[in-house]
Amino acid sequence: MKNRQTKQVSGEHLAYLRRRRHHGILVWTLRVGLLALLLGLWELVTATGWVDPFIMSSPSRIAQTIASLYNDGSLFYHIGVTLWETLAGFAIAVILGYGIALALWWSDLLRETLEPYIVVLNALPKIALGPLIIVWFGTGSRAILFMTVLVGIIVAIMHMLSAFIATDKNKQLLLRSMGASKLQMLTKLVIPSSLPSFISMLKVNVGMAWIGSIMGEYIVSKAGLGYLIVYGGQVFKLDLVMSATAILCLLAAGMYFLVVLLEKILVKNTE
Amino acid sequence: MKKEILRFSDVTLIYHTPREETVAAQHLTFSVSEGEFVAIIGPSGCGKTTLLSLAAGLLRPSAGQVERVGNCGYMLQRDELFPWRTIEKNIYLPLEIMKEDDASHRQRARDLAVKYGLGDFLASYPSQLSGGMRQRAALIRTLAPDPDLLLLDEPFSALDYQTRLNVTEDVSEIIRSEGKTAVLITHDISEAVSLADRILVLSKRPAHVAYAHELDFGEIKNPLKRREESGFSRWFEILWRELNV
């Protein structure tokens, strides 16, 4: 497939490659530079007293807050709580959602019956169920987990179902002409051809899982990053709010990156 | 008299939609014998593809009978190779579906691929092949389970003209040398004349066989050679007129 080493490369092509590489370096420099600029400005306006750091916090105060959280040992405790809720909720929503979507693909009658229910559940703002969730699941991690699953599962079902239904009609015809059973249709065609949609569903659901877990922690919680944000807001410790938010940014980005990595491994040949 | 592979006896097919019902075919009668290459042409929208679905057993006739000996392989307009499978795995697909995925069947399918020039591409993915090669791989996939009847649904129409002539050559040669029985659906008169032993002309809907011709090219089976024959344009004219009745 690739035999780059044996191929003769023209000077023009080398120049083209160099331009591309330089462009890549430029973009990354600008990205990092923009971040540094924003952080620098933030630090500057708060350090000079131009903006009250008590309201705005500042990069150095965020760093101090994170350091002190680390020193009293609560940093990784809060991260761990939220991360566990998010990952577990994400996994349950994805697995259950995928399974339900499969069942709905399998049975047209089931799909047609449940369609209006799914539409309503999708449109419903899940936070409206907050009080019910507290009553049913108490104020512990289970309530937050339930909220996370609830937010993610409908998206997973709808995303996968539309992918299953969109399976190429001609390829289905081809398989039927070979005498394929419904199970074979599923395993040989529907599941493999929906792999790119599965990855895009994972990407969407990374965001959904964080929404679910943080929203859950807003409603009920004794620990976690969402708890730190709410608590920080209530006692007016904006340093704590900003610190927890910054950590959240890093974690969410990291989780998204893992999905992209998975995509690189799984999705190779889909044209 | 050669063995009949496919027989349509007085077939009627009615399509139902909520708005109306459509009689797609009526009094459709014809048969295909072993080793024959039959082309079926007809005005567009006359239900040519329906006819193949009936032959493949994907649709049941509303009245009349469709009888078929043995199994059939279906080839579509586009190659429909699965992009996530290598050419080799694509060729094994019908074996997997028919639960004949054992060493001897695989060997047979692989030999076929090697014989017809796909040997170097077995480990490649479809996206790495040219359109012509992909259609050839699709044919080998169709032939892999050793079908008694090939159903070809305009298998060349998605290709550009140059590739199309080459692939037509290819497919013709492979089908002839494997001694396969084939039914080709096409709207392209010259394609039908260059490939078939016999041509059936369908009427407008509801479709029935309006005309049937035994072509008189004798031993000339090669599509490009046929195009050079004087009889070629004569047949073209006859069929063109019959299609436009």
- For residue B84, the chain A residue with the least C-alpha distance is A269
Give the minimum alpha-carbon distance from A182 to chain B in angstroms, rounded to a whole number: 11
pLDDT of residue A270: 62
Question: Is the CB of A52 inside 8 Å of chain B's CB atoms?
Answer: no
Give the minimum alpha-carbon distance from B240 to chain A in angstroms, rounded to a whole number: 30
The pLDDT of residue A2 is above 50: no
Contacts of A173 in chain B (CB under 8 A): 58, 74, 76
Question: Is the CB of A269 inside 8 Å of chain B's CB atoms?
Answer: yes
Give the minimum alpha-carbon distance from A197 to chain B in angstroms, rounded to a whole number: 14
Distance, in Å, from the CA atom of A262 to the CA atom of A254, rounded to the nearest integer, reads 12
Amino acid of residue A236: F
Closest CA to A229 of A210, A239, A244, A219: A244
pLDDT tens digits along A38-74: 999 999 999 998 989 888 899 999 999 999 999 999 9
Question: A198 and A163 in contact (C-beta within 8 Å)?
Answer: yes
Q: pTM (2 decimals)? A: 0.86
- For residue B150, the chain A residue with the least C-alpha distance is A177
| Inter-chain CB proximity B76 and A184 less than 8 Å | no
Distance, in Å, from the CA atom of A127 to the CA atom of A134, rounded to the nearest integer, reads 11
Task: Count other C-beta atoms under 10 Å from residue B20's C-beta.
Answer: 7
Counting DSSP H helices and E strands in chain B, the numbers are 8, 9
| Inter-chain CB proximity A178 and B125 less than 8 Å | no
Contacts of B72 in chain A (CB under 8 A): 177
Local structure of B146: helix, strand or coil: coil
Q: What is the ipTM of this complex?
A: 0.89
The residues that bridge with B67 in the sheet, in sequence order, are B7
| Inter-chain CB proximity B80 and A271 less than 8 Å | no
What is the residue whose two structure tokens read 């009745």?
B245
Give the minimum alpha-carbon distance from A107 to chain B in angstroms, rounded to a whole number: 20
* β pairing state of B72-75 and B198-202: unpaired
Rg (CA), chain B: 18
Distance, in Å, from the CA atom of B179 to the CA atom of B148, rounded to the nearest integer, reads 10
| Inter-chain CB proximity A174 and B145 less than 8 Å | no
Rounded percentage of chain A residues whose pLDDT exceeds 90: 83
| Inter-chain CB proximity B72 and A168 less than 8 Å | no
Q: What is the DSSP string of A74-90?
A: -HHHHHHHHHHHHHHHH
| Inter-chain CB proximity B82 and A192 less than 8 Å | yes
Question: B11 and B54 in contact (C-beta within 8 Å)?
Answer: yes
Mean pLDDT of B123-150: 92
What Cα–Cα distance (Å) separates residue A152 from each residue in A156, A163, B87, B155? 6, 17, 38, 44
The pLDDT of residue B139 is above 50: yes
Mean pLDDT of B122-137: 92
pLDDT tens digits along B10-39: 999 998 999 999 899 999 999 999 999 999
The pLDDT of residue A5 is above 60: no
pLDDT tens digits along B143-176: 999 999 999 998 888 888 888 888 899 889 989 9
Distance, in Å, from the CA atom of B72 to the CA atom of B5, rounded to the nearest integer, reads 10
User: Residue B28: what are its φ and ψ, rounded to 5°?
Assistant: -85, 115
Query: Which residue numbers of B have CB closer than 8 Å to A's CBs?
Result: 56, 58, 71-74, 76-78, 80, 82-85, 93-94, 96-98, 124-128, 145, 151
Question: Is the CB of A176 inside 8 Å of chain B's CB atoms?
Answer: yes
- Beta strands per DSSP E along chain B: 4-16, 21-33, 37-41, 63-68, 72-75, 149-153, 181-185, 198-202, 209-214
What Cα–Cα distance (Å) separates residue A197 from each residue in A122, A169, A193, A203? 19, 17, 8, 10
User: Residue A187: what are its φ and ψ, rounded to 5°?
Assistant: -80, -30
pLDDT of residue A3: 46
pLDDT of residue B224: 87
Distance, in Å, from the CA atom of A239 to the CA atom of A222, rounded to the nearest integer, reads 19
Mean pLDDT of B118-125: 93
Contacts of B128 in chain A (CB under 8 A): 1
The residues that bridge with B214 in the sheet, in sequence order, are B198
What is the CA angle B236-B241-B242, rounded to 5? Answer: 100
Closest CA to B28 of B60, B76, B65, B70: B65
The count of C-alpha atoms lying within 13 angstroms of the C-alpha of A87, restricted to the half-sphere facing its C-beta, is: 11
Q: What is the mean pLDDT of chain B?
A: 91
Q: For residue B43, what pLDDT band results from cuts at 50, 70 and 90?
A: confident
The pLDDT of residue A1 is above 80: no
Taking each helix axis from N to C terminus, what angle separates A75-106 and A141-165, rounded to the nearest 10 degrees?
Answer: 40
Report the range of poorest mean pLDDT among A6-10, A110-114, A239-243, B96-100. Answer: A6-10
- For residue B94, the chain A residue with the least C-alpha distance is A178
Rounded percentage of chain B residues whose pLDDT exceeds 70: 100
Q: For residue A159, what pLDDT band results from cuts at 50, 70 and 90?
A: very high
Interface test with chain B among A177, A183, A188, by most B beta carbons within 10 Å: A177
pLDDT of residue B216: 86
- Specify whether the backbone of A236 is left (phi greater than 0), alpha (psi in -120 to 50) or beta: left
- Among A230-239, B42-51, B216-225, the range with the most confident prediction by mean pLDDT is A230-239
pLDDT of residue B1: 60
pLDDT of residue A271: 55
Question: Is the CB of A270 inside 8 Å of chain B's CB atoms?
Answer: yes
Contacts of A270 in chain B (CB under 8 A): 83-84
pLDDT of residue A113: 97
Distance, in Å, from the CA atom of B150 to the CA atom of B182, rounded to the nearest integer, reads 5
User: Residue B16: what are its φ and ψ, rounded to 5°?
Assistant: -115, 130
Side by side, which strands form the sheet with B21-33? Answer: B21-33, B4-16, B63-68
Q: What is the mean pLDDT of chain A?
A: 92
